[in-house]
Structure formats: structure tokens, C-alpha cells
Chain A
Amino acid sequence: MNISRRNNVVIHGHGERVMMFAHGFGCDQNMWRYIWPAFEDQYKIVLFDHVGAGLSDIGAYSVNKYDSLEGYVDDIIEILRELDFKDVVFVGHSVSALMGIMASHKAPGLFERLILVGPSPSYIDDENYTGGFTRIQIDELLEALDNNHLGWSMTMAPVIMGNPDRKELGEELSNSFCRTDPAIAKHFARTTFLTDKRDILSKTSTPSLILQCSQDVIAPVEVGEYMHREMPGSQLVILKATGHCPNLSAPVETIAAMKSYLEPVN
């Protein structure tokens, strides 16, 4: 199996140190386009698409493997091991932030630091925990996924075309972002929103930065504060940015927060 092709791994930059960017649910590596250029002088940049997203190899998708986040976590570890990279600065958005935490447990020494953008260990409200969604809402989501109620099939058009006779398809593809196979997107949604990894936070030893948006319906401020309380060696920055994707809506603020974490002014 060609890991680089499977995950559409793209490497930029010439730095000594390595920075890996992991996109979250619903997107692909394009979501980092405003962020990584700010670090390519000092870092080797590793971008990739999760299997099922962007230009990854859809053929590598397995319902069994990706039925839990572990499947994605293993991919992240494999990518870095194949490149022989260690002490990596891992930048993960949304559910991929959680994958980074999980990978730091599974492969100690792989990451030097974690930068967690809009992370959440569990999306469902619980006793003494605000996840952002009630159990009823998540059930509604799962039902909507089952009934194919969401218009995902419309936008998440065929990713895999690879038809050299029809160039216009390729051109269309290069102009489109965040494509996902609809069946995979549904499965990923299920895997993501049913995950509860609150128990591993306090056992995480890799230092981390939590970048929390001030108004995020997917991961509300309470979640960022909870993670900061639970995770030893974590720093919390509440961004002025709203929404779930500050890397797109507020790249300048996001880059500044990352830089001041990585290169503190003495």
C-alpha cells in the first residue's frame, strides 16, 4: 500500500522541524491554504487528506477500519513513520485535533506539540459536561444520515474520476474543494459524533495549544475550557474569530496565536 497516495500526502517547505496539518470533518487539506505558507520557512509542511476526503484513494476506504477514529489515527502515524519524521508539531482541526491527542498516546515521541483548532473530546452533553449537542440532536443527526436527508450527495460529487479522456472532469475537480464520497461522509459523521474520548485527556503528556473560537456551534467555548482543565501542559487561547473554521475565517489571528505559542517572545 502506497501511504503517500492513499492519503494524498503533499510536502512543502525546507525547515528542519516538521509541522503536520490534519483537516477535520467535511473538508480536505485545502482548508489549511491560508495557514501553512506562514510556516514553510521554518518547517517542513506535511499536508494530507483523510481517506474518503479530497484526493485520497477512495479504494483504500474500509468500513471496518474507519468505524472508529483509531483507523484515522493509525493513518496519521503511518504517514509520519514512512517519512521518518519525529518530534512533529501536529496541527489538527476539529475531530482531527482529537486524532492527534490519540496518536500522541499510541506513538509517544512522534509529536513534540499539539495545536488543537476547535477540538472536542465528545460532542454530546453529559452530566457536568457541555458538548454542544443534546443526545436527541445527535439522534436526529444519525436519523437524518440514515434517511439520506442531507443534501450531501449533491455537493459531495464523485471524487474519483481519473478519466484521461475527459479533461473537463479534471479541470472541474481542480476547482473544487472538500469533496467527499457521500457514503463515506455519512460514515465519518457517525464515527465523529459518537466518539467520546474525554477519559484520555488527563493522561496526555504532550504539550498542547487549544485554539477555541468565541462562537462555535460545533465546539462551544465550554468544550475548550473543559479540555484546558483536563489536559496537563495545555494552553488555551480564545480567538475573536467565530464559527468552526478560524483557519479559513481568521487566518491572521490563527497564525499569530500559533506563532506566539511556538516562538514565545522572551
Chain B
Amino acid sequence: MQAKPDLADDFKDFLEESLCGYVTTDPDGIILQANSRFLQWTGHSLPEVVGKRFSGFLSVGGKIYYETHLSPLLRMQQYFDEIALELSDSQGQKLPVLVNGYERRNEEGIPQFTRLAVFKAADRRTYEENLRHAKTMAEQELFDARQLSSLKDQFIAVLGHDLRNPLGSIVAGSSLLAGSGLDADNAEIVNIISRSASRMTELIKNIMDFARTRLGGGIVLERKPVNLEPVLSHVVNEAKMIWPGRSIIADLNIDRTVDCDADRIAQLFSNLLTNAITHGTPDTPVYVHAAVKDQFELSVINNGVPIPPDHIGNLFEPFTREATAPNQNGLGLGLFIAAKICRAHGGQLSVISNDEKTEFTFRMACER
């Protein structure tokens, strides 16, 4: 008959050769017994550890933590769980570990000894450190990005503002010159100055609005019922002045008032018109239709190369035009601002673009 394997011996071997360190201390924390794994990790022999304090085999932080917190905890609640500590070996090398502790007491509740199970946690520590590192980096990047973004917004706001004042002088000066009886050549020069200044005024307005929306202020409206026909015609006339070579055919058919911010609608229209003129084929006209039916509807149509389908989606995002037509002048803010004005009015801005035509249509309710 085969001898039964001795379970008790096997269990003893299991504890001794375990992948965990096992330590028994007296109630004061002085080591009475330790298994071979613990001795291997600390680089000591059994006689070297017996009679020493368990905390003496920890890094200095762990030693303080053990004596001031864990040791009291054992006495008060009899256990502690999953404490991250570091074993410090005879060479000063540190091994990250997790420790569970339990205080054995007799029937009268008198502490007899403390059992400590020590688990190696080096991989876990690396993982935790990577996590912490990643978190710190992400926080720093977010902080940097926010700072940079805020700096940009401020830059744009300040720039827009500072450009306005000198431009005011140019506009006023060229207006005075125009009325001072110049000869034809000089009058044309003044005309060019004046047109460029108007165009620039619009660009600056867009920059400022862009900065404002980015800074969180949004576009503020001053709405009141207004007849938009003279407002739109003024924009058409201005455009004709700025681009005298271009044909703009406007069909403005407005017979009732629209509750809106007239200046903003003029800006929206001007942006759509400028977009059509700069992107349309130069020798073809730009068509404008405005009408009030159930709602106010304004369309601007040009011929030319259609907008690539994959650009339609981000057409109303800032600075996207450079990608499609790098040689066009302007900042690519026109459609972005137009969309913001549209949204502030609760309207819709849609676009159709094919080989025949590119048509932007703005619609909004006449009343709030």
C-alpha cells in the first residue's frame, strides 16, 4: 500500500516555499519567524532577522508609516489590508510589496503575535507609476493648451481692436480726399484706398467676432423689426464698389419687416457675398435672391468649381478655406461668423454645391 502524502508536511513546505513572504512577529513587532521567500527578498539569513523589528526591513517612509499608523491600527482593529510598502534589502535595494497584517489574540483578547503576508508588487508599482506619470503629463498638456488658447484669443482680440483705429483714419482721410476735386487718376487711387479700407474693416469685424465667440461671449444681438431691403441693397452697393469688375445681380423682394439685428444680417450677407465673389468664376455673375414668404430667405449663388463634398461638413468652421483654395485672400472666418450670426437668430444656413452652381441659403422666422 502506497503511503499517503503527508498534508501537514506539504502545507509547511507550501508556506516555506510560497511565492509570498510570511512573517510572524510578537505583539510589539519583533520578528519571531520568517519564511525563505521573505529572507530571499530582504537578503538576510533567518538568525539575522529574528529579534529585529519588522519595520526595520522597510524603506524609511514605510518604517515611519508602520510605527505610527499600522502598528496602532493592528492593536485597535486587529488587521490591516493591502498596504503598499517597500522592502529594503541588505544592499539598500527596494522591492515594492503589498502587506496584509493580522493580530492573533487569545481567548482573553490578549495579543499573542502578528502575522504578516507580504506580496511582491513590482509590476503593479510600475503600472501605478506609469498611470501617475500619464496623468501628470495630461494635466500639464491640458494646462499648456488652455494657456496657449487663451493667449491666442487675447492676441486676436487686441489685434482686431488695435487695427481699427488707424483704419478709421484711412477711411476718414480717403473720404476727405475723394471730395476734394481730384483728377481722374488720383480719384481712382483714392477709390482703391477707400475700397481696401472697407474690405479691411469687414475682415477686422470678423476677427473680433471670432475672438468674441471663442472667448465665450458669443454674438449679442440687438433685435427689432426692420425692413431689410435697404440694408441688403447697401451691402450689394458696397460690394460693387469694392469689386467694380464683378457683376452682382440682386433680386430683393421684401415686403414686410423681419425681427432681427440689421447690422448682423448685413454682416452675414456681406460675408456670403464676399465668399461668392472670391470663389466664383470671375466672368460669371453672382446672384442674390431675397424674399419673405413664410419666413425670411436669402440666397447667394455663384458659378465655379464646386466645393469638394468632404469639405462641406466643416465649411462653417474657422480657417478651413485655406485648405481648399490656398491662393484666396482673407482669413477664412466669413462663413464661420455667418453661421454664428445665423444661429444667434435661430435661423438655418444651408449650402448646395454642384457643377452648375454653389448656393448658400439663409432662412429665419420673421418674428420671434
Residues of chain A at the chain B interface (Cβ within 8 Å):
24-27, 30-31, 33, 94, 133, 137-138, 140-141, 144-145, 147-152, 154-155, 175-178, 189, 193, 215-218, 241-245, 248-249
Of all chain B residues, the one with the shortest Cβ separation from A250 is B28
Collect the chain B residues with CB atoms within 8 Å of residue A216's CB. Answer: 67
Query: Is B102 in contact with chain A by the CB < 8 A criterion?
Result: no
Contact in complex: A178, B65 (CB < 8 Å): no
Tell me which of B27, B53, B61, B84 contacts A217 (CB under 8 A). Answer: B53
Contact in complex: B69, A145 (CB < 8 Å): no
Tell me which of A26, A30, A148 contacts B65 (CB under 8 A). Answer: A26
Question: What 0/1 pattern do residues 294 to 323 of B give for CB contact below 8 A with A?
Answer: 000000000000000000000000000000
Collect the chain A residues with CB atoms within 8 Å of residue B30's CB. Answer: 242
In angstroms, Cα B73 to Cα A63, docked, is 26
Interface hub of B29, B71, B76, B98 (most chain A Cβ within 10 A): B76
Tell me which of A33, A141, A151 contacts B76 (CB under 8 A). Answer: A33
Of all chain A residues, the one with the shortest Cβ separation from B56 is A217
Contact in complex: B65, A150 (CB < 8 Å): yes
> What are 16 pairs between A and B in contact, CB < 8 Å?
A24-B68, A140-B61, A148-B132, A149-B86, A151-B84, A151-B98, A152-B65, A177-B72, A189-B64, A217-B63, A242-B28, A243-B29, A243-B67, A244-B68, A245-B75, A249-B27
Of all chain B residues, the one with the shortest Cβ separation from A219 is B67
Query: Is B367 in contact with chain A by the CB < 8 A criterion?
Result: no
Query: Is B77 in contact with chain A by the CB < 8 A criterion?
Result: yes
Given A151-B85, A177-B77, A217-B53, answer yes or no on A245-B71 (Cβ-Cβ < 8 Å).
Answer: yes
Nearest 3 pairs between A and B by C-beta? Answer: A151-B84, A26-B68, A26-B69
Query: Is B55 in contact with chain A by the CB < 8 A criterion?
Result: yes
Contact in complex: B60, A140 (CB < 8 Å): yes
Contact in complex: A141, B72 (CB < 8 Å): no
List which B15-61 residues lie within 8 A (CB) of chain A: 27-30, 53, 55-56, 59-61
In angstroms, Cα B111 to Cα A249, docked, is 9
Instruction: Kindly count the residue-residue contacts between A and B in the assembled complex, taking CB atoms under 8 Å apart.
Output: 100
Residues of chain B at the chain A interface (Cβ within 8 Å):
27-30, 53, 55-56, 59-65, 67-69, 71-73, 75-77, 80, 82-86, 98, 129, 132
Collect the chain A residues with CB atoms within 8 Å of residue B98's CB. Answer: 151
Of all chain B residues, the one with the shortest Cβ separation from A34 is B75
In angstroms, Cα B125 to Cα A208, docked, is 45
Given A177-B76, A217-B55, A248-B75, answer yes or no on A94-B68 (Cβ-Cβ < 8 Å).
Answer: yes
Contact in complex: B59, A176 (CB < 8 Å): no
Contact in complex: B76, A218 (CB < 8 Å): no
* Chain B proximity of A145: nearest CB distance (Å): 7
* Chain B proximity of A120: nearest CB distance (Å): 12
Given A27-B72, A140-B60, A140-B61, answer yes or no on A217-B67 (Cβ-Cβ < 8 Å).
Answer: yes
Tell me which of B67, B86, B129 contacts A218 (CB under 8 A). Answer: B67
* Chain B proximity of A140: nearest CB distance (Å): 5
Of all chain A residues, the one with the shortest Cβ separation from B69 is A26
Collect the chain B residues with CB atoms within 8 Å of residue A176's CB. Answer: 77
Contact in complex: B83, A155 (CB < 8 Å): yes
In angstroms, Cα B117 to Cα A254, docked, is 30
7 further A-B contacts with Cβ under 8 Å, apart from A27-B72, A144-B60, are A149-B59, A151-B98, A154-B84, A177-B73, A177-B76, A178-B72, A249-B27
* Chain B proximity of A183: nearest CB distance (Å): 14
In angstroms, Cα B67 to Cα A27, docked, is 10
Given A155-B80, A177-B77, answer yes or no on A218-B69 (Cβ-Cβ < 8 Å).
Answer: no
In angstroms, Cα B84 to Cα A176, docked, is 18
Collect the chain A residues with CB atoms within 8 Å of residue B56's CB. Answer: 217
In angstroms, Cα B64 to Cα A137, docked, is 11
Collect the chain B residues with CB atoms within 8 Å of residue A193's CB. Answer: 64
In angstroms, Cα B77 to Cα A221, docked, is 28
In angstroms, Cα B73 to Cα A245, docked, is 11
Collect the chain B residues with CB atoms within 8 Å of residue A249's CB. Answer: 27-28, 71, 75
Collect the chain A residues with CB atoms within 8 Å of residue B84's CB. Answer: 150-151, 154
Contact in complex: B62, A150 (CB < 8 Å): yes
Given A248-B76, A249-B28, answer yes or no on A133-B69 (Cβ-Cβ < 8 Å).
Answer: no
Contact in complex: B67, A244 (CB < 8 Å): yes
Tell me which of A145, A178, A215 contacts B61 (CB under 8 A). Answer: A145
* Chain B proximity of A250: nearest CB distance (Å): 9
Tell me which of B59, B71, B80, B132 contacts A144 (CB under 8 A). Answer: B59
Contact in complex: B67, A141 (CB < 8 Å): no
In angstroms, Cα B29 to Cα A217, docked, is 12
In angstroms, Cα B63 to Cα A250, docked, is 20
Collect the chain A residues with CB atoms within 8 Å of residue B80's CB. Answer: 155
* Chain A proximity of B294: nearest CB distance (Å): 52
In angstroms, Cα B63 to Cα A141, docked, is 10
* Chain A proximity of B127: nearest CB distance (Å): 14
Tell me which of B53, B61, B69 contacts A141 (CB under 8 A). Answer: B61
* Chain A proximity of B231: nearest CB distance (Å): 58
In angstroms, Cα B83 to Cα A136, docked, is 24
